[in-house]
Structures are given as structure tokens and as C-alpha cells.
Amino acid sequence: MIRIDDKKCIKCHACVRDCIVHVLRPDENGTPAVPPDEERFCLNCQHCLAVCPTSAIECNGASPENCAPIGSLPSTNEMINLIHQRRSIRQYKDIEVSQEAMQALIDSLAWSPTGCNVHNLFFTVVRNKSNMDYFRSKMSRVLKFLIRMGIMRLVYPNFWRYMDEIMNGKDVIFRNAPHMVVAASPDDAPCKEADPWIALSYFDLLAQSFGVGTCWSGFAVHTFKWLPSLRKRLGIPRGYTVHAVLLFGYPSVEYKRQTAPRQFQINVI
């Protein structure tokens, strides 16, 4: 429900202009209001609350007093360095990420944009290394079994190099990371595939600011699809599918320079 404080509202209509679903409209006195039968169309994006210059708007229980003021942003150069210097980390220190960093990373997930602002993603954060070791050993046992049975060779014929590594005990799936975050979305969500990747991309970039390295694990996404017992251990609700997995921890490797990636095909018109 959107509440507008008549005494604070200056009728500038900034909220009206920024309402994506046009449920906020001026009433006969010029005060913005939502017709009761249109409340259900509100996406709870809270743009009205955020844009109001006089803190006159509460949106679905969120009030201006509960929202942080606008803060400073990293400079363009800092942002470019962040993007250019993020590397996929496959060598981790054998320690857990600090509580402070872990909590900030978890808290920040709420700000991830989702299609239609549907806020029903499900995340599992593996915070303890011992829990991560559970997934590691379980996965290793299953993969070795599938390789021995010749099933992996049938399903992934091009991955022979990884099969040898797995048989030699290398953690190809979780890269010895002490932690991972798994993002799942409901099968009926409007942007079920994009939302989890976007959420973990934000997580990825914030992690760098704490000196925490990350690595996507497309392998883990695949394997979780056909291992219901691991999905259960992750607590993935029924009707949800895992779409993105990000490994993280403190890197035990240091890069001395940025890379020079090949440009994509970019059509500027």
C-alpha cells in the first residue's frame, strides 16, 4: 500500500512521473493517490518513495526513515579497474571469508533488479568450509562413478581432459573454493534465467571490494540439475531451478596486470 502524507506532499508529481505502472495519479486536489482497485498493479519498486523530495511517501511498509541517503559512487576509473581486473579465481586460501564481508554480500542481494520486480529468488550461501567440503566429496564420488561407468564420456565427449583431472582427485567443479552462492528462481518467474545471473553478477563485483575472489561454476549449475540429493541439501524449494552458481573466497593468486580480451562483435548504429 502506498501512503502519502498530505502535510509533506508539495504536489510536484515527481512520483507520478516516475511510476512505471501509472498507478499513482493526482486526485481532484492534485495530491498523488493510488485508486484502491489499482493497488494490485503496484510493483513495489519504491521509486515513488525514493524520488519524493519531501519524504512524503511510504511504500508497502517501507518509509523514507528506513532508507539510506544517497551516497557517493566509485569513480569511472575505479569502476573500469573493477571490471578489467576481476579474474576468475581458481586458487583459494584455506580460510573463510570474514563475517563482515559475508554479511554485506548477503545483504546486498536484496538490491538486485529482477524482471517485473518479482522478489522471489532463492539463494543458498555456503558459509562454512565444512559444508562446502560435503558438496565437494559428494560431487567427486558421483562424478568418478559416472566416469567409470562411461556415462560422462557419452554425455560430455569433449570434456575428456576434465575427466582425467576428476579421476586424479582435482576439484574441477568447486575449484577448492571455501564458499559458494547458489541462485535459483521459480519456474514460473517472468525472467527466471536472467534474474539469478544478474543477482550473482552484482555479488561478484561487490566481492572484489572486500578482496574476495570469485569464479562462476557453469559445471555446478549443470550437475545440480541432475543431482536431486545435492539440491535437497542446498534447500532448493520445489518448483525452483538452480540457474547460477558463484564460488568465492580469498584468492591465493595475485595478478600483475590486466588482460587484453578479444573484442566481441559490436554493431554500433
Ligand X SMILES: Cc1cc2nc3c(=O)[nH]c(=O)nc-3n(C[C@H](O)[C@H](O)[C@H](O)COP(=O)(O)O)c2cc1C
Among the listed ranges 47-55, 57-65, 123-131, 210-218, the one in contact with ligand X (CB under 6 A) is 210-218
Give min distance, CB of 3 to ligand X, in A.
42
Query: Using CB under 6 A, which of 92, 174, 203, 219 touches ligand X?
Result: 219
Nearer to ligand X, 56 or 177 (CB): 177
| Residue 54 near ligand X by CB under 6 A | no
Nearest to 180 by CA among 226, 218, 225: 218
The footprint of ligand X on residues 74-103 (CB under 6 A) is 87-88, 90
Query: Using CB under 6 A, which of 218, 228, 235, 239 touches ligand X?
Result: 218
Query: Using CB under 6 A, which of 194, 216, 233, 252 touches ligand X?
Result: 216
**Within a 10 A sphere around the Cβ of 237, how many other Cβ atoms?**
10
How many of the chain's residues bind ligand X (CB under 6 A)?
9
Amino acid identity for residue 239 in this structure: G
Helix (H, G, I), strand (E, B) or coil at 133: helix
| Residue 217 near ligand X by CB under 6 A | yes
Terminal CA-CA length for the chain? 43
Q: Which three cell numbers stand for residue 123?
A: 539463494
Residue 117 and residue 131: Cα distance in Å, rounded?
Answer: 32
| 253 burial type by CB count under 10 A (0-12 exposed, 13-18 middle, 19+ buried) | exposed
| Residue 156 near ligand X by CB under 6 A | no
| Residue 215 near ligand X by CB under 6 A | yes
Query: E strands, 120-196, where?
Result: 122-126, 179-186
Binding site for ligand X (CB under 6 A): 87-88, 90, 175, 215-219
